[in-house]
């Protein structure tokens, strides 16, 4: 008789966004004529830019000829894309990242869930609270998080680092020592950012205690403030302790194409393992995992990613990002005018608001859906410190962003 990985059974309820989708579907079924504006899930709405479309067409045509047909992609990604990323995203910003330290994948969500596989079963993780649920849930599935407390919404073996208005939504160094530290800036869900000086403190701390930082930079394209780092590798010493996750979904609209990358410098080394291996690079472990479990992002998608680094691609993507940020500014300012306390929305496509009259985030979700026909994301779904907060995204159309704010202002 087979047995189960019973760690899955420890997970409370369904995945946050699956639960939201079910609630919205039930409401839509009961109110078939309702005009619902979805500002909950972080899915983009603008079409792919012309430079990307042109490169896709060209790559598809290549697949029709025996001379240019491509089968399996190289395990770690095509060199043309790895080089473009290393040069444009890192070396041009003064970050010493080599082409072979970039691993191409089908998205940051997959990598953020899978990266934990190269670490021991007994490592302890520290996460921001609120937090992107995948970081915790994937470690629960691996059996690292201990027991879940329904009352507190916390796992017994996870170090929670509260991110609140009192600390500017930037976590403080933990009092208990973690092995893995998950950081995401610009932050999902709060939309807040971290300065280079603050991020340097985390790099110094990780090197001091022997921890590894998993740094999710999926939203770096939305940064306009020159004092805000686009990469953790802008910090001294980060090559020795940080793994960075990158995504094409939010910067170039690839949510339907699926493309991302994980950067692991050769400098992150375990001097000696429990079984006696010496000077083991995390880079080699991820390469082994990649080669064993993954056949690579499709050639045509990687060519599309390469187009993002052309001069035309850069300019067109910059326009798309500006459009979403126009939405973010309108949503943030409109909510302020309506009397809400609001955060984020400046260097990020997410707006984080305080629920009115101290109602719970799920109560506000229901109120917003029923009275305004607007869908957002309850803050409590991101962790206990997210209670009494709510997330709206700027990834809809400008027209729907305007309409949503007008409805919220008119709620009674």
The fold for domain 11-41+313-410 equals: 3.90.1150
The stretches in the chain having pLDDT less than 70 are 14-15, 412
Multiple choice CATH, 53-309, 3.40.50.720, 3.40.50.1470, 3.40.640.10, 3.40.50.1820? 3.40.640.10
Question: Which tens digit of pLDDT belongs to each residue from 22-35?
Answer: 888 888 888 888 89
Phi, psi for 126 (deg, rounded to 5): -120, 135
Query: Which residues 6+ apart lie within 8 Å of 91 measured at CB?
Result: 97
Please give the annotated binding residues for substrate, written as ranges. Answer: 15, 42, 109, 132, 188, 295, 391
- Give Cα separations from 122 to 110, 179, 298 (angstroms): 22, 9, 35
384 closest CA partner among 76, 152, 194: 152
What pLDDT does residue 154 have?
A: 95
Q: At how many degrees (to 10) do helices 398-409 and 311-337 cross? A: 10
Q: Which residues sit opposite 154 in a β-bridge?
A: 149
Question: In what side-by-side order are the strands of the sheet with 350-354?
Answer: 342-344, 350-354, 389-393, 377-378
Please give the annotated binding residues for pyridoxal 5'-phosphate, written as ranges. Answer: 72, 108-109, 132, 188, 219, 247-249, 258, 295
Please give the annotated binding residues, written as ranges. Answer: 15, 42, 72, 108-109, 132, 188, 219, 247-249, 258, 295, 391
Query: Which residues 6+ apart lie within 8 Å of 157 measured at CB?
Result: 124, 144, 145, 146
d(CA 180, CA 174): 12
What pLDDT does residue 113 have?
A: 97
For the chain, the domains span: 11-41+313-410, 53-309
d(CA 259, CA 257): 6
Q: Which residues sit opposite 161 in a β-bridge?
A: 128
What pLDDT does residue 412 have?
A: 60
């Amino acid at each position: 008789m087979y047995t189960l990985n019973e760690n899955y059974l420890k997970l409370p309820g369904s995945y946050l966004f699956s639960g939201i989708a079910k609630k919205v579907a039930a409401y839509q079924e009961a109110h078939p004529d309702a005009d619902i504006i979805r500002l909950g899930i972080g899915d983009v709405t603008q079409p792919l830019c012309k430079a990307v479309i042109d490169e896709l067409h060209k790559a598809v045509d290549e697949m029709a000829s025996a001379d240019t047909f491509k089968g399996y992609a190289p395990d770690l990604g095509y060199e043309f894309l790895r080089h473009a990323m290393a040069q444009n995203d890192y070396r041009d910003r003064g970050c010493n990242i080599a082409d072979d330290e970039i691993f191409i994948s089908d998205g940051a969500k997959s990598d953020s869930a899978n990266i934990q596989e190269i670490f021991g079963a007994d490592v302890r993780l520290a996460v921001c609270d609120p937090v992107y649920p995948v970081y915790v849930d994937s470690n629960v599935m691996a059996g690292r998080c201990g027991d879940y407390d329904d009352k507190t919404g916390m796992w017994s073996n996870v170090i929670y680092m509260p991110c609140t208005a009192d600390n500017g939504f930037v976590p403080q160094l933990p009092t208990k020592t973690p092995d893995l530290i998950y950081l995401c800036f610009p932050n999902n869900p709060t939309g807040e950012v971290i300065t280079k000086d603050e991020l340097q403190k985390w790099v110094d701390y990780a090197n001091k205690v022997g921890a590894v930082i998993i740094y999710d930079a999926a939203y770096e394209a939305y940064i306009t403030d020159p004092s805000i780092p686009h990469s953790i590798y802008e910090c001294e010493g980060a090559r020795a302790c940080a793994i960075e996750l990158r995504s094409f979904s939010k910067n170039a609209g690839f949510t339907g194409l699926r493309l991302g990358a994980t950067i692991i410098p050769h400098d992150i080394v375990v001097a000696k393992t429990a079984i006696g291996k010496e000077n083991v690079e995390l880079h080699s472990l991820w390469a082994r995992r990649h080669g064993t479990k993954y056949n690579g992002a499709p050639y045509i998608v990687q060519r599309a990613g390469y187009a993002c680094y052309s001069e035309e691609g850069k300019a067109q993507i910059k326009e798309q990002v500006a459009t979403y940020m126009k939405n973010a500014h309108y949503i943030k300012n409109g909510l302020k005018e309506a009397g809400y306390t609001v955060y984020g929305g400046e260097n990020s496509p997410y707006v984080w608001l305080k629920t009115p009259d101290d109602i719970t985030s799920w109560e506000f979700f229901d109120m917003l859906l029923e009275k305004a026909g607007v869908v957002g994301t309850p803050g409590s779904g991101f962790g206990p410190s997210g209670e009494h907060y709510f997330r709206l995204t700027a990834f809809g159309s400008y027209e729907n962003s305007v309409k949503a704010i007008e409805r919220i202002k008119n709620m009674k």
